[in-house]
Amino acid sequence: MKIISLCGVTCVGKTTYAEKLVTEYVDSKRPVCLNIGLFFRNTLGPRFFEELDNPTAPTVTEHWVRNMVHNAIELSYNSQRDVILDGFPRTKDQFYWLIHSSFASSRTISVELKFCFVDEDIMRERMESRIRQNPEEEVLLLRRNQKDVALLKDVYSEARRVLDSRSKGHDGLSLTEVNL
């Protein structure tokens, strides 16, 4: 079983790429796909970004996100399908949780981190399109995107460091860069 983790800033194209990856599988082996951002946007609406920026927010907690990811991985493992995590991990703590969690270390599960990049002009167009759809999210979306850049640089650097050291227990970890 493989965990395909799509990492990238808001509006880079992770969801579109996830949809493309899903179509590459035979129907009976289609992966479970968990889109973290979409789930919370649909659940919380405009409060989504406010909740993410508030570390003490009762609605969106790290425990809740990890529990969702864990459940998706369990479902995938039990049905012998891969899982695509759209937008996870976003922090170094989430990265380490993913590669050291009990489900990954006690089973034959590989973790493939795909860092997604896109031309700045294309990303700006995508962001403007999303803002046109939800104008109330403009300031929060722009602020979140700047925060994502810093967080994801940390995740990328840490993943590179772990891969370069090839420490025991990380044989199933890989990292690729994808230009969308």
**pLDDT (0 to 100) of residue 21:** 92
**pLDDT (0 to 100) of residue 29:** 84
CATH class of 2-179: alpha beta
Query: Model confidence over 22-54: pLDDT tens digits?
Result: 988 877 788 988 888 777 767 766 565 566 556
Element (H, E) at 68: helix 62-78
Any idea how long the chain is?
180
pLDDT over 90 (residue 176): no
Residues β-bridged to residue 173: 111
In this prediction the pTM is: 0.80
| Choice between 75 and 51, residue whose per-residue pLDDT is larger | 75
- Nearest-CA neighbor of 34 among 81, 80, 77, 86? 86
Q: Tell me which amino acid residue 104 is.
A: A
Average pLDDT over all residues of the chain: 79
Query: Model confidence over 139-158: pLDDT tens digits?
Result: 666 666 667 777 788 888 88
**pLDDT (0 to 100) of residue 84:** 93
Q: How far apart are CA 102 and CA 129, in angstroms?
A: 40
**Does residue 54 come out as left (phi exceeding 0), alpha (psi in the -120 to 50 range) or beta?**
beta
Query: Model confidence over 82-137: pLDDT tens digits?
Result: 999 999 998 888 888 888 775 655 567 788 899 998 888 888 888 888 778 877 76
pLDDT over 80 (residue 55): no
Q: How far apart are CA 7 and CA 114, in angstroms?
A: 6
- Domain range list for the chain: 2-179
**pLDDT (0 to 100) of residue 6:** 94
**What tokens were used for 99?**
């590669």
Q: How far apart are CA 174 and CA 114, in angstroms?
A: 8
